């Protein structure tokens, strides 16, 4: 199966600052990658698919890029509601797999 590795495990950021989260695939997955946000006690919610396409209603401060094996999610100016765990997800092959998550916490 394709292993997704996210870094860092935890990112401490001040409100208003920029945050960049990384995700690496164990083999090339083209742009078949999504990003999900999960807040405590809630189900994940879709942010990005196709590596860079924002889902409906997702603020423009969220952007994704990358292809092949290296991907990034950038939050341009962190708002209080953005402190959460973020997961990358590959859908290039079955079984679908997720990264282990990056927790974005308040600095």
- Which spans of this chain sit near other proteins (rule: CB under 8 A)? 1, 31-32, 34, 36, 43-46, 49-50, 53, 55, 87, 89, 91, 94-101
Q: Which is nearer to other proteins, 49 or 71 (CB)?
A: 49
Pairing of strands 19-25, 4-7: antiparallel
Q: Which is nearer to other proteins, 29 or 75 (CB)?
A: 29
Distance CA 52, CA 60 (A): 11
Tokens representing 70?
Answer: 């290296």
Shortest distance, position 85 Cβ to other proteins, whole Å:
8
Q: Which is nearer to other proteins, 16 or 95 (CB)?
A: 95
Shortest distance, position 76 Cβ to other proteins, whole Å:
22
Q: Which is nearer to other proteins, 43 or 60 (CB)?
A: 43
Strand ranges (E), the chain: 4-7, 10-13, 19-25, 33-38, 45-49, 53-54, 62-67, 70-75, 85-90, 97-98, 102-106
């Amino acid at each position: 199966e394709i292993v997704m590795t996210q870094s860092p495990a935890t990112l401490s950021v001040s409100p208003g600052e920029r945050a960049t989260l990384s995700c690496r695939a164990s083999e090339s997955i083209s742009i078949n990658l999504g990003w999900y946000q999960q807040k405590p006690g809630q189900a994940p919610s879709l942010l990005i698919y196709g590596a860079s396409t924002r889902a409906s209603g997702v603020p423009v401060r969220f952007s994704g890029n990358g292809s092949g094996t290296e991907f990034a999610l950038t939050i341009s100016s962190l708002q209080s509601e953005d402190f959460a765990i973020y997961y990358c997800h590959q859908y290039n092959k079955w079984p679908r797999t997720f990264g282990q998550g990056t927790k974005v916490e308040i600095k």
